[in-house]
Structure formats: C-alpha cells, structure tokens
Amino acid sequence: MEYPRLTILDKIHSYEKELTEWLDAGKPLRTTEQIEAIHQTCSECPHFDKVNARRGTCRWCGCQIRMRGKHVNKAAWGTTKCPDPDGPRWTKLPSDT
C-alpha cells in the first residue's frame, strides 16, 4: 500500500488544523477509557507504526497516538477521527449542539 509522503510541514499543518478545530469547539476531551480504546484500535491497525506499548504513529496523517495524556494527544481530542481512507476506525465525539 502506498502511504502519503508527509513532510514535517505537512504534519505541522495537519496538527494545526486539528488543534484549531478542537479549540474552536471548546476543547472537548475523551475519557481515559475512550482514549485507551482508540489506542487499542490503532495498535491493531495495519497502518499503525507501533513505537512501544504506549504510543505509535499513524501512517496516514503522521500523528502520534498515545495511550495517555489529554492535551498533546489527538486521540484525546473529541473533534478528531481516524483518517483511514477506507473508513474511519473511530469517529469524532457527537457535538452537544
């Protein structure tokens, strides 16, 4: 499978876009259990480069997925979803509006 060749600027732009959406939405956070479930889902994904038992990198967006942490962890942000082009393996939290 051919993955996008992401430069550091691509990764920064993607992170900035996700961060802005999260901040604009009021910084909704997933629960620890939801973050752990996402990490487990990602760990089993063929598009995931596992670094160790607690983190790894998505080959589609280049973001690190961590089991712990709330503020520098896109899996914790309620506005993010899995970028798999064949269909997201996890989705955004429903908005309260």
Please state the domain extents for the chain. 8-66
- 6-40 residue pLDDT tens: 899 998 898 899 999 999 999 999 999 999 899 99
Of the chain, the percentage scoring pLDDT greater than 90 comes to 47
Q: Which two tokens stand for residue 56?
A: 């790894």
Say if residues 88 and 58 touch (Cβ distance below 8 Å): no
Helices (H), 2-97: 8-24, 32-43
Q: Considering the entire predicted model, what is its pTM?
A: 0.83
